[in-house]
Amino acid sequence: MMLTLARRESFWGFAFIAPWILGALVFTLLPMGASFVISLTNFDPRYPDAVQSVGFANYQRMFSDPLVLQSLAVTVKFAALMLPLTLGVSLGLAMLVNNPKLLGRNVFRTLFYMPTQIPIVATTLIWQGVLNLHTGWVNYVLGAFGIAGPDWLNSTVWVYPGLSLISVWGTGTMMLIALAGLQSIPTELYEAARIDGAGKWAQFRNVTLPMVSPVFFYNLIIALIGTFQYFTQAYVLTNGRGDPDNATLFFNLNLYREGWRYYDMGYAATLAWLLFVIVLALTVILFRTRSRWVFEGAAR
């Protein structure tokens, strides 16, 4: 039987996306379903034969667990500081290396991107020395200006700026995405703005920011998800203890401790579902509000 052109196109379309659908089903949806089933049990990987159903007891426990609220507060506090900082720095670096007056732009682009190629564990260990109270370079520089440097990693106040500095160090990928957004802005818009008498700040506010807002939105979504999954740096710096005084007990670190330190996989799976719901809700809110601040051309 001869297939029509539309049916043949549909067939080949499904054939090409079949591997992705299969991968999403096997490696994402099925594990998510399994984690929900586990969240309804007292599963301990050391005693798999003793698993029993506990209904929604883990969810009831979650809402009365003070560490859940504390780890969420730590994550939100860090996100409030880190997100604006990394987004602003990545956009600033992109504008710097996009400036035609900058000599050796390609060299600077490479240098700013290179830290992202260093493993996170190695980067964290390096920054542990850089932020050391007595021998760290940051405090040496501050001391040269007569400023007594804080104990970055052992202070409940300064540990968040310290971790934010480590995050800024790895903004190379966000910088490249912002750079691509800057280079897609038609130069005619700047020429028209200059003819209208717009200065540098007016051009940035009325041309650059609206035109890069889709890229900024993408970076915000990725950074938001990454912040709620923040784990490696906090684990490496404190060996999973959440020091000082649980100031680095991020939600993901608390989840890890429940699952792999206390072997309470049922409760850890419950925390994972709470994390999923929170990130999904925040992402949906951002998408629902994007029409108010993201420039989408004629589709806006």
Percent of the chain with pLDDT over 70: 98
pLDDT of residue 243: 86
What is the average pLDDT score of the chain?
92
63 alpha-carbon distance from chain centroid: 25
Q: Is 264 exposed, middle or buried (0-12, 13-18, 19+ CB in 10 A)?
A: buried
The secondary structure of the chain in percent helix, strand, coil, rounded to multiples of 5, reads 75, 0, 25
**What is the per-residue pLDDT across 236-279, written as a single tens digit (0 to 9) for each?**
998 889 888 899 999 999 999 999 999 999 999 999 999 999 99
**What is the per-residue pLDDT across 205-230, written as a single tens digit (0 to 9) for each?**
999 999 999 999 999 999 999 999 99
Q: Is the pLDDT of residue 300 over 70?
A: no
Q: Where are the alpha helices (H) located in 114-207, listed in sequence order?
A: 120-130, 137-144, 159-169, 172-183, 187-195, 200-203
Give the whole-angstrom CA distance, residue 130 versus residue 121. Answer: 14
223 contacts 86 by C-beta, under 8 angstroms: yes
185 alpha-carbon distance from chain centroid: 26
| Over residues 141-164, mean pLDDT | 92
**Residue 41, strand partner residues:** 53
For residue 147, the SS3 value is: coil
pLDDT of residue 283: 95
| Over residues 102-122, mean pLDDT | 92
**What is the per-residue pLDDT across 56-87, written as a single tens digit (0 to 9) for each?**
999 999 999 999 999 999 999 999 999 999 99
Q: Is the pLDDT of residue 1 over 60?
A: no
